[in-house]
A and B are shown apart, each in its own frame.
Chain A
Amino acid sequence: MSYFDNNVPPKREDRLQAVIAHKENICSLAKNGTSGKGCLIQDGDRGFTQGTICLLLPALAMLNSLPDNVVLLHSALGCGSCTHSQNANVRVGNTHRWGKPKDGIWLSTALDETDVISGGEDKLERAIIEADRRYRPATITIVAGCVPGIIGDDIDGVAQKVQPEVSARLLPVHCEGFKTKIWATAYDAVYHTIGRNLLTERGVKPKTPQDELDVLKEQERLSRTVNLMNVSSMGRVDEQELERLLSSLGLTVNVFPVFAHPDSFINATRAALSISTCPTHDDYFLGYLEERFNVPSIIRHMPIGISNTSLWIRDVAAHFGFEEQAERLIAVEEAELKAALEQFRPVFEGKKVFISAGEFRALATARLLQEVGLEVVAIRSFHHDQFADIEYEKLAKEAKTDYVVDIANVQPFEEANLIKRLKPDLFLGHHNGNMTAAKLGVPTHVIYNTGLAYIGYRGVFEVARRLHRQLSNPAFNRNLADNLRLPYSEAWYESEPFAYLNTRGRSVNE
């Protein structure tokens, strides 16, 4: 039985034994890999924690991008208001793809005290029907937050019941935040509903070839068409870089699923290969595409950094038997890029960098930074699972010291303590993850922003160029540090940075 036969996808703690609270060093993580994770206490957490995000946020980032989709949150009022910032990505994404900005449409059933007591299913039913009439969308994604998860509203049942009354396809998505600590479960939640609901024919008619030549042409085209998976971690500029590289191997690219029309999702089942850019994102769905539609997939390297981009291309080329062509491409690209990077090397040489992001992104970016001449002194990964073992190995080979790896769902208090000890020259963090370093006066750069280039060979150069710019005048952050302070006690800075690790529940129980 497939996971996709259930209404709700499994959480990653169960499916992948993913964890969020751990301290390790690069060499031991690399050496021990999965087998060494006995020390990672399952379900362990800190006795002091700071707020983070939940799976609802990245799920909405994907869902809001879908053209002709309306997001209907079934939760209390505040859930989903994060879309106010994600909407910038929707507007820019539309502009980059179709020439003009367009706002996403998201709604909320805004469950109130009465709904909490008497249930919200009736309200949800009425909301679906009204949304269908008002907006006439192709799909309505019905996204459950925490409240229905506790009061027991059955969004799948409601969707099934109302479906015959509406013209939009109804897609239930489970994002009850309290159910998983691993927000990457978001990707599974969205892919789950795609897999269950959108991979059947609808709207778009497949080409019906008229003669044998057409049949051959279509076969030829499909045999060279690849799915390029993007769950919103790449902007258009990054997609274009990968499209450039893949098309120079003679491949046609189907970017999926962000900014793809729900009616076109069926195309993903006809491709010759699916290519992931990040194992944290796509393993759940690619497994399903393989098992159900016989679409093979590659999910290994993240094309961030020179060597990782080349490894990523080699994997794809090997699948199609294009190795020679790929080697020629890689040789030219690498030579050109390395020559271009030389200008920045004097500024980067000897500078220490602290990196923080989702696990794969952090590790692949660390590799990139090593390649341009920076020295990695600390990594904070938002979670840890087995897919990353290979990346820790790559990094360990190049590490100058046995630096610290903090597995933490952000937790900036640990970071503040670490930064004061390690005194990095540069910090790369995710959204809302640079303020700690910034207020400590460290030059910072955002590790992910869909308006900027990070991916492929072009991404290496653009990241280097931006870091060079940041390092050329870090006065903004320095001024902050001279005039502001972080909200931590002096006693905390004197404590061991991992003092609260795996202490949850102890103080009460002991």
Chain B
Amino acid sequence: MSDNFVERARYLCSLGGASATVTALPGGIPILHSASGCAGNFAWTQNGGSGLQVGGYCGSLTVPSSNIQENEVVFGGEDRLREQIANTLKVMDGGLYVVLTGCVPEIIGDDIFAVVNEFREEGHPVVGAATGGFRGDSYWGYDLVLQALVKDYLTRGLPKVKGRVNLWGVVPYMDPFWRGNLEGARRLLELVGLEVNSFFTPEDTLEAIREGATAELNIVVSDVYGQGAARLFEERHGTPYLTVPLPVGAAASEDFLKAVGAALSLDEEVVASAIAREKREYYKFLEPLTDCFNDLDLQRYAVVVGDANYATALSRSLADDLGWLPVLTVVTDKLQEELQPKVAARADAFSSGYRTNVVFESDASEVIGHLNRVWPRSNGDKYHNAFSPAFVVGSSLERDLALKIGAPHLSVSFPVANRAVLDRGYTGFRGGLRLAEDLLSQVVANR
């Protein structure tokens, strides 16, 4: 990882993440207060990174944007923003309007909150977030939008409702499988009788989001994404939060349900029987694979490259569900140093006992160097314990690595340029089956 640049960044700026997040909210209309190119940049990025998903109800080039120019840089952009919000309320039909700032207005010192408050006082559903690109990556932009909702949109002082939870930690579009992953996690929670507010699935509504403070627990399926909002939520609305890893596959899903059950003091019997039912189903589906899995020798070494949610979660599913050997796990986020041990620790306790090597590296061209360090290359020895047969699970940037080491490849983490993703997800027991299907299909593609 370089201190001076990031190579082919696997994320956008905070504005990019924030804009995608608002687009993903039911009836969400982003209003960018930024230069004109930001929206187009996000659309092109999603085109190449989000599994062919660009925008939604109001995304892509449909997004209202103040498109500020040199004139505003000189004289300030608040009047322009006021005009843009007023006209957006006339032209666009949304349930919630979120003003998001880009680099330019923040550097010149526009006070967007003063402008936003004028509209809020008139009763318009408008909130704002300062998401200038230099503040951080798109994952942080997601967090900032959630924080804005927690502060300015959720109703305060509502009584908690037993069995109601909010689910966070999957970032729309930045996780190309966001919809499937949210649904998979949501379904797990529903198995133990919980009522889930997941904000971004077709089942979610603005009404439910507004009443989000009635949840007795916030469940964040990420050590990083949404953590800021969860802390703020607890402070503002008194709802505690539980941080769990993204539950990819059978082993992780079982742990997930147990952790949630413990946090909410659910009836142990209910949790155990839900797990048993899901596992029975899971192994019923898996059973006919037994012959081919063994006869075709489908066990693989693997390099796993992914964001802070995916990297260890995928490695765990490979190791614990499939009995593969994910020798190297590369976490691609530029995390603050204190967060790194937390994320790395997720690889400490795989139920299979397998130990992977975790490294933090954002630059795709450097991954092969890390692999060579943990698995030395042949020195031309006649007998060499080679890194083969291998598999690369990563983003589409890892195609080059896969080619170099002669391994098949599956894109899961952003950017996913070479797959079409609609409702597919890898969370839950069913998600584990999807992952197995996708990995093994790549292995046998030329059969």
Chain A interface (Cβ < 8 Å from any Cβ of B): 43, 45, 47-57, 72, 75-88, 103, 105-113, 115-116, 123, 126-127, 130-131, 134-135, 146-147, 150-151, 177-179, 181, 183, 409-410, 412-413, 431-433, 435-436, 486-492, 500, 504-505, 507-508
How many inter-chain residue pairs (CB < 8 Å) link A and B?
Answer: 264
| A103-B400, A108-B5, A487-B29 given; A77·B40 CB < 8 A | no
Q: Which residues of B contact A146 (CB under 8 A)?
A: 35, 102-104
Cα of A237 to Cα of B62 in the assembled complex, Å: 31
Cα of A51 to Cα of B38 in the assembled complex, Å: 7
Q: Which residues of A contact B226 (CB under 8 A)?
A: none
Chain B interface (Cβ < 8 Å from any Cβ of A): 2-9, 11-16, 29, 32, 34-45, 47-49, 54-55, 57-58, 60-73, 79-80, 82-84, 86-88, 90-94, 102-104, 107-108, 132-138, 365, 397, 399-400, 415, 417
Q: Are B70 and A179 in contact (CB under 8 A)?
A: yes
Q: Which residues of B contact A115 (CB under 8 A)?
A: 134
Cα of A147 to Cα of B57 in the assembled complex, Å: 30
Q: Which residues of B contact A150 (CB under 8 A)?
A: 73, 103-104, 107-108
| A108-B5, A110-B5 given; A82·B417 CB < 8 A | no
Q: Are B103 and A432 in contact (CB under 8 A)?
A: no
Q: Which residues of A contact B4 (CB under 8 A)?
A: 109, 123, 126-127, 130
In the complex, how many angstroms separate the beta carbon of A141 from the nearest chain B beta carbon?
A: 13
Closest to B141 in A: A78
In the complex, how many angstroms separate the beta carbon of A147 from the nearest chain B beta carbon?
A: 5
Cα of A91 to Cα of B331 in the assembled complex, Å: 25
The 9 closest A-B pairs by CB, nearest first: A51-B39, A54-B37, A78-B13, A85-B48, A53-B40, A84-B48, A76-B133, A51-B65, A82-B44
In the complex, how many angstroms separate the beta carbon of B131 from the nearest chain A beta carbon?
A: 10
| A147-B107, A508-B82 given; A51·B61 CB < 8 A | yes
In the complex, how many angstroms separate the beta carbon of A161 from the nearest chain B beta carbon?
A: 16
Q: Are A84 and B58 in contact (CB under 8 A)?
A: no
Q: Are B67 and A51 in contact (CB under 8 A)?
A: yes
Q: Are B135 and A113 in contact (CB under 8 A)?
A: yes
In the complex, how many angstroms separate the beta carbon of A51 from the nearest chain B beta carbon?
A: 2
In the complex, how many angstroms separate the beta carbon of B252 from the nearest chain A beta carbon?
A: 28
Cα of A74 to Cα of B91 in the assembled complex, Å: 36
| A50-B64, A51-B63, A82-B45 given; A130·B2 CB < 8 A | yes
Closest to A409 in B: B36
Q: Are A49 and B64 in contact (CB under 8 A)?
A: yes
Q: Are A412 and B9 in contact (CB under 8 A)?
A: no
Q: Which residues of B contact A433 (CB under 8 A)?
A: 61
Cα of A72 to Cα of B397 in the assembled complex, Å: 18
Q: Which residues of A contact B137 (CB under 8 A)?
A: 77
| A81-B16, A111-B134 given; A50·B39 CB < 8 A | yes
Cα of A433 to Cα of B44 in the assembled complex, Å: 12
Q: Are B6 and A110 in contact (CB under 8 A)?
A: yes
Q: Which residues of B contact A110 (CB under 8 A)?
A: 5-6, 9
Cα of A108 to Cα of B7 in the assembled complex, Å: 7
Q: Are B90 and A492 in contact (CB under 8 A)?
A: yes
Q: Which residues of B contact A45 (CB under 8 A)?
A: 67
Q: Are A489 and B91 in contact (CB under 8 A)?
A: yes
| A82-B45, A178-B35 given; A77·B11 CB < 8 A | yes
Closest to A145 in B: B103
